[in-house]
Chain A
């Protein structure tokens, strides 16, 4: 019953008509079979077709081994047999599809809202935020702990519901949606002067990577060749973003285990890295750096020298602060063995990014689906096998070192050429799948043009969308007092999930 999918490459436009539209049973079996053979489900989503007033269900699947993406579509009708019981990676996507479009995935085991959107289905009442049919344990000494949406620290809102016996967490349910700002709805309506800013703020700590993902889809649909210089500047900014966030996370992890020296140093060092990004474009988060066709700001010789000198100092400071933490046995004792996720679970639920690599899964879009300057300049993929908080911390540190080296190499040999190319008219009736490796993991934007070459972005998947469920799994049988540590070791985006 399985059928052939369309094979495409990362950030390469293809005629939308080439995507096979098959019957639902064939679609279902093909997706399940691909995932069984090792594919990752990058996106499973419904897309409205205004030309014939129907909904299409699309699956985008990545085969890391050969760098190919497979696409398949179907017309789901009002209800269909859920994929989730046979394919855990579909779990969160099918909940999203049901909530957004009212298409019922029958026999889905956990069909609850993920964002608490106003319901579009006639017979389904809108859910009130935070009021869900939470999983409950019963028993004399069982207690429930509810945390959020507003948290104690300076962080985004989300709700966590723990089922505990004594200190031990038996089950954690994560209920989000508080950050829902309507980004996908706005992006699916077409290009406006706001479009690029939506990408910049989809997850505001991932400005460069989300905007790169958005721009490279736009560029391939317009047939624009981006200069190597612009690609190098984008990659430098993306690696600065990775370094800043990883160092910030390592400091916060030190804080969560009460090791104050590293916490304090890293808080400051993170700011020093953000200031490097501000040297390039004036903004600490890289706002306004990217534009379709290239970048808005050049990196001349003097600036490159300035950056190189600053980064040398920053790296020395980071080595001093972070190796101190990894050489301290009391810190290691708290990180090791806490919040363990096995490679098998990580594979089943489709974990991406740092969290996946910390379980020993070697997956990185920069290597497996190379884009931009990463096609010519490679970074080793850093993994660790233990799947605990230590692994998630240590993979961050290994990656940080690689990113420093990569930026140095780029600054030493910045390609000549213009920083932006003109973006011509878009190709009509086309689609592009654009993937990048943000600091949290894989970012996926699905972009298409209609018959009049109007561009829309019907789907954005932030790495957090794949990974929140991983945090819930990692908390099982942990002490509830370790929740802040486990949460920080994933450090997922609330707004990137809620969009």
Chain B
């Protein structure tokens, strides 16, 4: 009996904390949060390449014809090294958390590109809109992407509300969610897991590492992310992506929100 009272007292104390999002407002992001970056190429100094030199992953690209700068969010660590290096304040990181895209090329930002890009996918919407079971494969993930995916299963984010769930067997899954740059030592395990999932199936690459190798891009020990080994259907950038970025990506992909 005392135990039951303890449990009830704790339950009253903890209250109901599940987010209202997406029916209500999205949870507040911290003031210093780094979302999608913006570049105003017009402000760039002549022949200045300060941001390109400081970027740890080579995520900043210069268009050959126009000289305009673009940022590949699939490589970007959102570390603000470019923002700090820029002598003319041409780069800043916004609070835009909606970063996921269904096509790799849509992760490249810059003038003339709409952002956030469309992430909706017809097959996913048709088959998995109300129930998506995912097998989680960490392939060189540092446990940050893992933690921010894990948190989606807690009572606060509760992605089970949308029928989305991580399942313990590939046989029960509709697809895999991959994190990490895919070390050579994980190549076979990733391929076998993919093969063990019944078709039709999807692959979600979460975090800069899984999209492009990220910080480990061009390391001979890794495969520069999942895409060389398995066909990726949804790309969720970040290092790690904020849980809100991941959930938004999943919901837009499934056509649950627009």
Measured CB to CB, the residues of A under 8 A from B are: 115-116, 129, 149-150, 152-157, 177-182, 185-186, 192-194, 197-198, 201-205, 207, 248, 261, 264-265, 267-268, 270-271, 274-275, 278-285, 287-288, 297, 316-317, 320-321, 324, 327-329, 493-495, 498
Cα A275 to Cα B243 with chains together (Å)? 11
Are A205's CB and B55's CB within 8 A? no
Cα A6 to Cα B64 with chains together (Å)? 56
Known: A194-B215, A317-B13, A320-B14. A201 touches B144 (CB 8 A): yes
A to B contact number (C-beta, < 8 Å): 182
Are B136's CB and A278's CB within 8 A? no
Using A178-B189, A185-B221, A284-B148 as known contacts, list a sample of 19 further A-B pairs with CB atoms less than 8 Å apart, ordered by residue number in A: A153-B166, A155-B138, A177-B185, A179-B138, A180-B221, A181-B140, A182-B221, A203-B143, A204-B145, A265-B14, A267-B153, A267-B155, A278-B30, A280-B32, A316-B13, A317-B13, A495-B140, A495-B142, A495-B143
Most chain A CB atoms below 10 A, which of B34, B53, B156, B185: B185
Are A180's CB and B32's CB within 8 A? no
Are A182's CB and B222's CB within 8 A? yes
Cα A234 to Cα B219 with chains together (Å)? 30
Contacts of A327 in B (CB 8 A): 3, 6
B77 at the interface (CB under 8 A from A): yes
Contacts of A498 in B (CB 8 A): 183, 185
Q: Which of B13, B81, B184, B186 contacts A193 (CB 8 A)?
A: B81
Nearest residue in B to A282 (C-beta to C-beta)? B32
Contacts of A150 in B (CB 8 A): 135, 137, 189, 193
Count B-side interface residues using an 8 Å CB cutoff: 67
Are A287's CB and B146's CB within 8 A? no
Measured CB to CB, the residues of B under 8 A from A are: 3, 6-7, 9-11, 13-14, 17, 30-34, 53-57, 77-81, 135-151, 153-156, 166, 168-169, 180-181, 183-186, 188-189, 193, 215-216, 219-222, 239-240, 242-243
Contacts of B222 in A (CB 8 A): 181-182
Nearest residue in B to A330 (C-beta to C-beta)? B3
- 9 interchain pairs, CB-CB under 8 A: A156-B138, A193-B54, A204-B143, A268-B155, A282-B30, A284-B240, A287-B77, A324-B10, A493-B143
Contacts of B153 in A (CB 8 A): 154, 267
Contacts of B139 in A (CB 8 A): 157, 178
Are A153's CB and B136's CB within 8 A? yes
Known: A116-B185, A268-B155, A328-B6. A288 touches B80 (CB 8 A): yes
Contacts of B141 in A (CB 8 A): 156, 179, 204, 495
Known: A194-B57, A271-B156. A186 touches B142 (CB 8 A): no
Most chain B CB atoms below 10 A, which of A282, A324, A495: A282
Are A186's CB and B219's CB within 8 A? yes
Cα A197 to Cα B216 with chains together (Å)? 10
Are B240's CB and A204's CB within 8 A? yes
Q: Which of B7, B147, B149 contacts A205 (CB 8 A)?
A: B147
Cα A320 to Cα B14 with chains together (Å)? 8
Known: A186-B219, A194-B215, A284-B242. A207 touches B144 (CB 8 A): yes
Cα A197 to Cα B219 with chains together (Å)? 14
Are B55's CB and A193's CB within 8 A? yes
Known: A282-B34, A317-B14, A320-B13. A149 touches B186 (CB 8 A): yes
Cα A264 to Cα B215 with chains together (Å)? 33
Are A261's CB and B149's CB within 8 A? no
Contacts of B168 in A (CB 8 A): 152-153
Contacts of B145 in A (CB 8 A): 204
Shortest CB-to-CB span from A418 to chain B, Å, is 16
Are A181's CB and B193's CB within 8 A? no
Are B142's CB and A204's CB within 8 A? yes
Known: A129-B185, A201-B215, A328-B3. A261 touches B11 (CB 8 A): yes
Contacts of A155 in B (CB 8 A): 138, 146
Nearest residue in A to B144 (C-beta to C-beta)? A204
Contacts of B10 in A (CB 8 A): 261, 265, 320-321, 324
Contacts of A321 in B (CB 8 A): 10, 14
Shortest CB-to-CB span from B84 to chain A, Å, is 8
Cα A327 to Cα B7 with chains together (Å)? 10
Known: A156-B138, A156-B141, A324-B10. A178 touches B186 (CB 8 A): yes
Are B215's CB and A197's CB within 8 A? yes
Shortest CB-to-CB span from B4 to chain A, Å, is 11
Contacts of B13 in A (CB 8 A): 316-317, 320
Q: Which of A180, A198, A202, A267 contacts B151 (CB 8 A)?
A: A267
Contacts of B140 in A (CB 8 A): 178-181, 495
Shortest CB-to-CB span from A396 to chain B, Å, is 17
Cα A274 to Cα B30 with chains together (Å)? 11
Nearest residue in B to A263 (C-beta to C-beta)? B154
Cα A205 to Cα B151 with chains together (Å)? 13
